[in-house]
């Protein structure tokens, strides 16, 4: 009797091991988070071998982070492998600041331009030149080159010059510019550029009734082709609180306002960060507070996949670990950097901050947690003295490039600071 009990007990706890390697890998292990896969490897030798399989590790990352994200990370895995990359992005053990000097020139000099990344290329458009002159030229910096240098892109036609606009990346090599301040006032036009076309041409997209003309708004793209625009400031100096969506993958793109029963207070200079494919985190900005305009340190979230999307304020605490310093939340700020990591966590730093707070302090938030908490991220290396949202690009999900610093009105675009979230291919193992 005792022997039968022992047998049935072992049969029960080892039932999972009676499954084939294929079923274990594809149906069970691939559905776990990278952190859980690392833990389950200690169960037995067979499962450990399965978790070491590179294809299984890729499936784990793909299911956890999505195909689009893992596609962008493919290059990073050639040296690191999916297991190590997942570990480094989970633990942030390899995070560091590096300084990068590049050649070429962005001339005439300017400020208040907008920049974003297309693959491993940084693209800069427009800006405010001498005597508030709106610029309309396009520059590219190829980080894959042996000696990267800024080069002017020869385009067939350009949008009207502007500053205080947004520049976002769509599927593949497409860029989209919206709004900003032009020679005749504020703009609400949309232009798209295919950077890889034989003859790159900025093409205007007219899409029904557009949002009000604005500058210092925020924008992001979801699902590769949908441009989301939020807030900003009108010609009359009125702050806005609206949210619009334009799907550029359709034959006839049409602007659509996202109707919500409640919206965060009107603001400019805030950030929009996409996580979980269709969810957006809004943070900071210069927000309306009664008759005043104050820097904000609040976070809001919306899921555009919902049947009736609604903004809600995220009640974020401050994380206090065992033996950690006193908990700190990000001081209120505007025109800061906000980037989404492949795993959906969001890093905030830089911007215009009141008081004596350091703009180089990094804060980390996982908005999908049941009770989200801000964590301080201490990073070795020399951070930039200033970092602004409109001049910072995220490359391949693991590199955050801050374009230059500035002395007075002069921007130094040959000096870049890079926040590396994972070990680089060209660095030592």
**Domain ranges (residues) in the chain:** 2-65
Q: How far apart are CA 147 and CA 403, in angstroms?
A: 17
pLDDT, residue 14, reads 59
Question: Model pTM?
Answer: 0.89
pLDDT, residue 9, reads 47
Measured CA distances, 184 to 109, 136, 137, 164 (Å):
21, 14, 18, 14
User: Cβ neighbours of residue 209 under 8 Å, at least 6 residues apart?
Assistant: 255
Q: How far apart are CA 174 and CA 183, in angstroms?
A: 26
Give the DSSP letter of residue 264.
Answer: P
Peptide bond into 108 cis (omega under 30): yes
| Mean pLDDT per 10-residue section of the chain, whose length is 429 residues | 49 66 80 84 80 86 87 84 91 94 92 93 95 96 95 95 97 93 97 95 94 98 96 97 96 96 97 95 96 95 97 86 64 96 94 86 94 94 90 91 68 90 68
Please give the structure tokens belonging to residue 424: 């680089």
Interval 43-95: pLDDT, tens: 788 888 888 888 888 888 888 888 888 888 888 888 889 989 999 999 999 99
Burial zone of 367 (CB within 10 Å; 0-12 exposed, 13-18 middle, 19+ buried): buried
Please give the structure tokens belonging to residue 172: 């593949």
Helix H or strand E encompassing 292: strand 292-295
- What count of other Cβ atoms lies within 10 Å of the Cβ of residue 305? 12
384, 98 Cβ separation under 8 angstroms: no
Interval 381-426: pLDDT, tens: 999 988 999 999 999 889 999 997 655 455 779 989 999 999 975 5
Q: How far apart are CA 164 and CA 100, in angstroms?
A: 26
Q: How far apart are CA 135 and CA 346, in angstroms?
A: 32
Candidates 32, 50, 28, 30; CA nearest to 41 is 50
pLDDT, residue 95, reads 96
DSSP 6-50: HHHHHHHHTGGGGS-HHHIIIIIGGGS-HHHHHHHTTS-HHHHHH
Helix H or strand E encompassing 61: helix 54-65
Helix H or strand E encompassing 358: none
pLDDT, residue 121, reads 95
Q: How far apart are CA 303 and CA 313, in angstroms?
A: 12
Candidates 135, 159, 194, 108; CA nearest to 411 is 108
pLDDT, residue 34, reads 85
Q: How far apart are CA 368 and CA 43, in angstroms?
A: 28
pLDDT, residue 260, reads 95
Burial zone of 246 (CB within 10 Å; 0-12 exposed, 13-18 middle, 19+ buried): buried
Of the chain, the end-to-end C-alpha distance in Å amounts to 56
Q: How far apart are CA 353 and CA 426, in angstroms?
A: 35
Please give the structure tokens belonging to residue 135: 């610029």
DSSP 376-388: EE---S---S---
401, 417 Cβ separation under 8 angstroms: yes
Q: How far apart are CA 382 and CA 185, in angstroms?
A: 39
Please give the structure tokens belonging to residue 162: 């502007």
């Amino acid at each position: 009797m005792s022997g039968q009990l022992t047998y049935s007990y072992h049969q029960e706890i080892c039932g999972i091991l009676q499954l084939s390697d294929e079923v274990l890998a594809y149906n069970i292990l691939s559905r776990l988070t990278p952190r859980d896969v690392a833990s389950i490897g200690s169960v037995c030798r067979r499962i450990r071998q399965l978790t070491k399989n590179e294809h299984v590790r890729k499936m784990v990352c793909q299911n956890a982070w999505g195909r689009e994200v893992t596609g962008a990370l493919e290059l990073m895995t050639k040296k690191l492998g999916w297991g190590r990359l997942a570990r480094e992005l989970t633990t942030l053990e390899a995070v560091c600041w590096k300084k990068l000097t590049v050649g070429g020139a962005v001339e005439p000099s300017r400020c208040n331009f907008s920049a974003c990344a297309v693959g491993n290329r940084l693209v800069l458009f427009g800006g405010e030149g001498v005597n508030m002159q709106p610029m309309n030229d396009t520059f590219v910096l190829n980080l894959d080159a042996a000696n990267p240098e800024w080069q002017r892109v020869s385009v067939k036609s350009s949008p009207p010059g502007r500053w205080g606009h947004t520049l976002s990346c769509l599927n593949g090599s497409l860029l989209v510019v919206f709004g900003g301040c032009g020679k005749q006032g504020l703009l609400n036009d949309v232009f798209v550029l295919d950077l890889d076309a034989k003859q790159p041409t900025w093409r205007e997209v007219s899409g029904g009734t557009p949002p009000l003309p604005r500058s210092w708004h925020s924008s992001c793209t979801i699902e590769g082709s949908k441009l989301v625009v939020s807030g900003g400031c009108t010609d009359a100096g009125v702050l806005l609180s609206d949210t619009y969506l334009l799907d550029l993958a359709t034959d006839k793109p049409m602007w659509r306002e996202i109707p919500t029963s409640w919206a965060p207070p009107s603001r400019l200079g805030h950030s929009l960060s996409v996580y979980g494919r269709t969810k957006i985190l809004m943070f900071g900005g210069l927000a309306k507070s009664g008759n005043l305009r104050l820097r904000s340190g609040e976070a809001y979230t919306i899921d555009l996949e919902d049947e009736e999307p609604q903004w809600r304020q995220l009640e974020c605490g401050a994380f206090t670990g065992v033996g950690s310093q006193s908990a700190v939340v990000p001081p209120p700020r505007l025109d800061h950097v906000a980037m989404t990591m492949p795993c959906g966590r969001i890093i905030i730093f830089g911007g215009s901050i009141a008081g004596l707070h350091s703009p180089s302090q990094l804060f980390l938030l996982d908005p999908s947690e049941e009770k989200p908490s801000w964590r301080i991220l201490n990073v070795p290396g020399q951070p930039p003295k200033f970092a602004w949202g409109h001049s910072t690009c995220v490359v391949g999900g693991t590199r955050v490039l801050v374009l230059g610093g500035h002395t007075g009105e002069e921007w130094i675009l040959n000096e870049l600071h890079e926040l590396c979230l994972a070990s680089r291919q060209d660095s030592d193992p």
